[in-house]
Amino acid sequence: MTAAELMMEGINLMLSGMGFVLVFLTILIFAIKGMSGIVNRFFPEVSEGLPTPVATPEHNEDEMTRLRPVIAAAIAHYRRQHQ
């Protein structure tokens, strides 16, 4: 075989391999979408009965009051380690 024939065989193999991968990924995308549709049809999300957590300002203040000494200790420890 000549170099030109080898090059053409390599290009042919590359293009056919890329084509198979493209077809496989396209089939995979449709399969995933189909499975998602099946799951959503038989197991719909129920969001009415679940309470949603609401962040209140009192809750945030309580968290900051509790975390402030921890943050200060972490900063002091970091500064001691890196001096």
Q: How far apart are CA 48 and CA 44, in angstroms?
A: 12
| Amino acid, res. 49 | G
What is the average pLDDT value for the chain, to the nearest integer? 87
> How many residues are there in the chain?
83
Residue 55 pLDDT? 60
- Lowest-pLDDT range of 33-37, 44-48, 70-74: 44-48
pTM of the prediction? 0.49
- Lowest-pLDDT range of 9-13, 37-41, 43-47: 43-47
pLDDT, mean of residues 54-71: 77
* Per-residue pLDDT at 27 exceeds 90: yes
